[in-house]
């Protein structure tokens, strides 16, 4: 794996945010397979999935995943569709549990969702509360955590200002555009002051123009807040435009993070810059390699059995 790390051995000094060497997220030898759902059976969560499931192949979506996410880093997950990016992200968010291996946030094992790991979902319509105003949506996490009203107000106002929605505080989500709804989600997560902001293709459902605007705005938000970002995308350009570090996944089953790329360019980046296009092409090569490793493995197997 280490031989893949040297695409560009850069110094991260160029980057706007000074990353400390502290790891916010540490993933060690993590594996995940989805077991049979035990719906309808009460208190039956602890059935050993191996006992229920005895397939020929082991059925791991993710296998031997190792990952460090540094404090303040803009970290990208890049990989083919279905490789398990969302699965790993959901494990980090605490929505899913790993089958094997360990995962920690600032040294504490992750077992369930928590406000120190803010999540921005792809579909804002699903994620925000249509019955609450923009203000109350952003206030939700603070209220849930029992923060007093007087303390909530400046936090909410700041978060709204950060995403440029201060003039829309009294509106309801149905009165907002798609891009504005996504801004509400970002503000709502940031208001809870999370250690890391986890985003699964947050701009994937937006039109190209709005996506570009939000990407630029989000870089500014990241710079201002200095948050650690984990951002999933399968858009190579988006990855190169936004990320400081790109983790590339191999294909599932048994997917893992197979290559990591440091992106050495300052923000804002100009994708038409020949140096950056060349870099993008190289990342693309690595991505293709990562996807094909698995295919080669399969071919080898079938060749052996033939």
Ligand X SMILES: Nc1ncnc2c1ncn2[C@@H]1O[C@H](COP(=O)(O)OP(=O)(O)OP(=O)(O)O)[C@@H](O)[C@H]1O
Among 94, 101, 178, 179, binds another protein (CB under 8 A): 94
Helices 149-163 and 178-191, packing angle to 10 deg: 140
Least distance CB 57 / another protein (angstroms): 29
Cα-Cα-Cα-Cα dihedral of 113, 127, 135, 268, to 10°? 90
By CB under 6 A, tell whether 86 contacts ligand X.
yes
Question: Nearest to residue 256, comparing CAs of 54, 27, 90?
Answer: 27
Omega within 30 of 0 (cis) for the link into 82: no
Nearer to Mg ion by C-beta: 77 or 279? 77
| Cα→Cα distances 164→180, 210, 305, Å | 9, 14, 60
Q: Does residue 256 touch ligand X according to CB under 6 A?
A: no
Residue 86 or 99 with smaller CB distance to Mg ion: 86
Of the pair 187, 251, the CB lying nearest Mg ion is at 251
Q: How far, in Å, CA of 122 to CA of 42, rounded?
A: 32
Which of residues 114 and 178 has its CB atom nearest to another protein in the complex? 114
Residue with tokens 């019955």: 131
**Which residues, numbered 100-119, are part of the site for another protein (CB under 8 A)?**
112-115, 117-119
Question: How far, in Å, CA of 296 to CA of 243, rounded?
Answer: 29
What is the spatial distance between Cα 83 and Cα 293, in angstroms, rounded to a whole number?
13
Taking the complex as a whole, the smallest distance from the CB of residue 101 to Mg ion amounts, in Å, to 20
Of 139 and 254, nearer to ligand X (C-beta) is 254
Q: Which of 7, 24, 27, 61 binds ligand X (CB under 6 A)?
A: 61
DSSP, res 13: G
List of residues contacting ligand X (CB under 6 A):
34, 61, 79, 81-87, 234, 252
Residues that bind Mg ion in the complex, under the rule CB under 5 A:
86
Binding site for another protein (CB under 8 A): 42, 93-95, 112-115, 117-119, 121, 123, 126-132, 140-141, 144-145, 172, 174, 188-189, 192
């Amino acid at each position: 794996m280490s031989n893949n790390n040297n695409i560009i051995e850069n110094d991260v000094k160029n980057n706007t945010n000074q990353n400390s060497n502290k790891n916010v997220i540490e993933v060690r030898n993590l594996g995940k397979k989805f077991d049979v759902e035990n719906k309808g059976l009460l208190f039956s969560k602890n059935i050993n999935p191996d006992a229920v499931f005895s397939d020929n192949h082991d059925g791991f979506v993710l296998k031997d995943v190792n990952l460090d996410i540094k404090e303040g880093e803009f970290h990208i997950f890049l990989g083919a569709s279905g490789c398990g990016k969302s699965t790993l992200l959901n494990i980090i968010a605490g929505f899913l549990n790993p089958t094997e291996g360990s995962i920690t946030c600032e040294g504490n094992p992750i077992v369930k969702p928590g406000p120190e790991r803010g999540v921005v979902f792809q579909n804002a319509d699903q994620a925000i509360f249509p019955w609450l105003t923009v203000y109350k949506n952003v206030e939700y996490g603070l209220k849930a955590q029992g923060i007093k009203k007087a303390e909530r107000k400046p936090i909410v106002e700041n978060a709204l200002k950060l995403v440029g929605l201060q003039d829309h505080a009294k509106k309801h989500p149905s009165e907002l555009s798609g891009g504005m709804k996504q801004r509400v989600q970002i503000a709502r997560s940031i208001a809870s002051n999370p250690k890391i902001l986890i985003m699964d293709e947050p701009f994937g459902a937006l039109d190209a123009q709005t996506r570009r605007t939000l990407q630029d705005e989000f870089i500014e938000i990241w710079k201002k807040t200095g948050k650690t970002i984990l951002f999933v995308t399968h858009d190579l350009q988006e990855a190169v435009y936004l990320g400081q570090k790109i983790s590339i996944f191999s294909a599932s089953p048994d997917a893992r993070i197979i290559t990591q790329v440091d992106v050495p360019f300052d923000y804002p980046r100009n994708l038409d810059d020949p140096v950056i296009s060349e870099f993008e092409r190289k990342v693309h090569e690595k991505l293709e390699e990562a996807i094909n490793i698995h295919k080669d493995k399969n071919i080898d197997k079938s060749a052996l059995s033939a």
